[in-house]
C-alpha cells in the first residue's frame, strides 16, 4: 500500500546524524495519516461524489481509473526527489499543494462544467500525492535507525488504515449528512473539501516544525552525473529477473476481477433499487462500507500476515487466492436479493472485505520476494507500479460493462474475471519456506 522510492539501498542513519530529532511519535502518525487521505480521496471519495452528482457509471469508472496513472509511473520521476532539494522539503511542499488542490475542488463543484475542472484538479492531487509518497517513505528511511524502522512499521500501517476509515467512512458520512442539512449536493461536497483544505494546511505547517532534519537528507549533486545510466541499469535488472513474464502476469492479473468490482461497489450501494442497486443513503455507505468494511479489511490483512509468518507464502498462496476471490459472490447475492436490512448488507460487505484483506497479503509478500536483491527498493517501486496498472486498466471499462448488462450480470462477470489469476498463480515458483518466521533452535 505504501509506495517505496526507487533509491538503490536503505541508508544507515545514526542518532547523531539527525538534527532537531523529535520522538517519532510526534510525526510518523501524522505523516502516514496525511499520506493516506489524498489517496483515498482520489480513489474513493471522487467516485462517491461523482455518483452523488449523477454522473453515469461509465464516466465514473473510466475517468477515475485514469487517476491511478501517477502511481503507475511514479518510478519514472522518483530519482528527481532524491536529486532536487530534500525529502523533508518535498513532504511539506506536497502537503501544501494537496491542500490547495482540495480548495480548488471545492471551488469547481458549483460551476456548470464542474466535471472537467474537478477532474483536472484530481489529476494534480494524484501527482502530488504520489510524489508525497516517494518523499515520505524515503524520509522514513533517512530519519529512523533500522531498529526504529521495524518498530514503527505497524504504526505506519495503522495510521494509513485510519486515514482510509476517516476518508471512506467519516468524510462520506459527513457529505451525506450535509446533503440532508443543506439540500444541495454540490454545496455539501464543497464544504467537505474546504475542511480538507484547511486540515492539510494545518498538517503541512505542523510538519514544517516537527519533522526532524537528518544530515543524510540533502542533495547529492555527484549522483546526477550517472543518473540516466544507473536508472536504466535498475530497470534492465528488473526485467532480467528469472520468470519475469510469469511474475508480471501474476502482478497484473491477481486483481483483474477486484479492479472492476471496486469501481462499482459504491455506485451499486447508492443506486436506486429499480436500477438494480441497494438504494442506500450516502451516510449509510460511509458506515457499512467505509467504516465496517475497512475495519474488516484491516483485520483480514493482520491475520494474513500472521498466517504467512507461520506457514510460509507457498503454503498459503492458494487459500489466500480463494479468500480474495470467492467472497465476490456476496455481490451476486446482494444484487439478486437486494436486501433492505442494513445489518445484512454490512455483514456481506465485511465478509468480502475481510477475505480481500486476508488474500491481498499474499500479493504484497510476493512483491517483496520479487524485489529481493540489488536495487530492492527500486524494484519494489516497479512492482507497485505494475500493481497500480493492474487496477487502472480493468477499472476503466467496468462502468461501461455494468451499464450494458446490469449489476447482477456484472458481478457474475467479475467472478469469471478472477479465473486468469488462478492460471497465473499456478505458474509461480516459490521457495517452500519463504515468508515463514524461522523456528527458534531447540
- How confident is the model at residue 253, as a pLDDT? 93
- How confident is the model at residue 3, as a pLDDT? 39
- How confident is the model at residue 152, as a pLDDT? 64
- How confident is the model at residue 155, as a pLDDT? 67
* pTM score: 0.78
**In which residue ranges of the chain is pLDDT below 50?**
1-20, 439-442
Sign of the four-CA dihedral 142, 26, 29, 190: negative
Task: Map 29-66 to HEC letters.
Answer: HHHHHHHHHHHHHHHHHHHHHHHHCCCCHHHHHHHHHH
Q: What is the pLDDT of residues 224-251, one digit of tens each?
A: 556 667 677 777 888 888 889 999 999 9
- How confident is the model at residue 104, as a pLDDT? 95
Q: How far apart are CA 49 and CA 188, in angstroms?
A: 10
- How confident is the model at residue 223, as a pLDDT? 52
Which domains, from first to last, does the chain contain? 23-214 (1.20.1250.20), 227-428 (1.20.1250.20)
Bridge-based pairing state of the strands 213-214 and 18-19: antiparallel
- How confident is the model at residue 221, as a pLDDT? 55
- How confident is the model at residue 412, as a pLDDT? 96
Nearest to 297 by CA among 362, 252, 349, 368: 349
Q: How far apart are CA 138 and CA 413, in angstroms?
A: 40
- How confident is the model at residue 151, as a pLDDT? 56
Q: State the DSSP H helix or E strand holding residue 286, giving kind and residue range, or none if neither.
A: helix 282-287
Region of 333 on the Ramachandran plot (φ > 0 left; ψ -120 to 50 alpha; else beta): alpha
Amino acid at each position: 500500500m505504501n509506495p517505496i522510492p526507487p533509491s538503490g539501498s536503505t541508508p544507515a542513519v545514526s542518532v547523531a546524524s539527525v538534527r532537531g530529532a523529535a520522538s517519532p511519535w510526534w510525526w510518523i502518525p501524522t505523516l502516514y495519516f496525511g499520506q493516506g487521505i489524498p489517496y483515498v480521496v482520489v480513489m474513493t471519495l471522487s467516485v462517491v461524489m461523482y455518483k452523488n452528482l449523477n454522473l453515469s457509471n461509465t464516466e465514473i469508472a473510466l475517468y477515475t481509473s485514469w487517476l491511478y496513472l501517477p502511481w503507475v509511473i511514479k518510478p519514472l520521476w522518483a530519482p528527481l526527489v532524491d536529486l532536487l532539494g530534500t525529502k523533508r522539503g518535498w513532504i511539506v511542499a506536497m502537503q501544501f499543494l494537496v491542500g490547495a488542490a482540495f480548495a480548488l475542488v471545492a471551488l469547481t463543484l458549483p460551476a456548470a462544467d464542474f466535471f472537467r475542472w474537478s477532474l483536472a484538479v484530481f489529476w494534480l492531487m494524484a501527482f502530488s500525492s504520489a510524489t508525497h509518497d516517494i518523499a515520505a517513505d524515503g524520509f522514513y528511511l533517512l530519519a529512523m535507525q533500522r531498529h526504529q524502522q521495524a518498530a514503527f512499521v505497524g504504526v505506519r500501517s495503522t495510521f494509513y488504515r485510519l486515514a482510509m476509515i476517516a476518508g471512506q467512512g467519516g468524510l462520506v458520512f459527513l457529505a451525506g449528512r450535509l446533503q440532508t442539512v443543506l439540500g444541495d449536493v454540490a454545496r455539501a461536497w464543497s464544504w467537505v473539501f474546504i475542511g480538507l483544505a484547511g486540515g492539510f494546511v494545518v498538517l503541512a505547517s505542523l510538519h514544517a516544525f516537527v519533522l526532524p532534519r537528518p544530515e543524510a537528507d540533502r542533495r547529492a549533486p555527484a549522483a546526477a552525473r550517472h543518473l540516466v545510466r544507473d536508472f536504466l541499469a535498475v530497470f534492465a535488472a528488473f526485467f532480467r529477473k528469472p520468470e519475469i513474464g510469469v511474475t508480471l502476469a501474476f502482478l497484473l492479473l491477481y486483481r483483474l476481477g477486484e479492479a472492476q468490482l471496486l469501481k462499482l461497489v459504491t455506485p451499486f450501494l447508492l443506486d436506486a433499487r429499480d436500477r438494480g442497486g441497494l438504494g442506500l443513503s450516502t451516510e449509510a455507505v460511509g458506515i457499512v462500507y467505509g467504516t465496517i468494511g475497512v475495519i474488516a479489511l484491516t483485520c483480514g490483512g493482520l491475520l494474513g500476515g500472521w498466517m504467512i509468518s507461520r506457514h510460509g507464502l507457498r503454503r498459503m498462496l492458494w487459500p489466500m487466492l480463494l479468500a480474495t476471490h470467492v467472497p465476490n459472490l456476496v455481490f451476486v447475492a446482494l444484487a439478486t436479493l437486494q436486501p433492505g436490512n442494513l445489518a445484512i448488507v454490512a455483514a456481506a460487505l465485511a465478509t468480502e472485505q475481510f477475505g480481500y484483506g486476508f488474500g491481498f497479503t499474499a500479493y504484497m509478500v510476493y512483491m517483496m520476494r520479487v524485489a529481493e536483491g540489488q536495487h530492492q527498493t527500486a524494484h519494489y517501486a516497479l512492482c507497485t507500479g505494475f500493481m497500480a496498472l493492474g487496477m487502472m486498466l480493468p477499472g476503466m471499462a467496468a462502468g461501461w460493462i455494468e451499464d450494458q448488462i446490469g449489476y447482477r450480470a456484472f458481478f457474475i462477470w467479475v467472478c469469471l474475471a478472477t479465473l486468469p489469476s488462478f492460471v497465473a498463480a499456478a505458474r509461480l515458483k516459490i521457495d517452500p519456506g519463504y515468508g515463514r518466521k524461522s523456528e527458534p533452535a531447540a
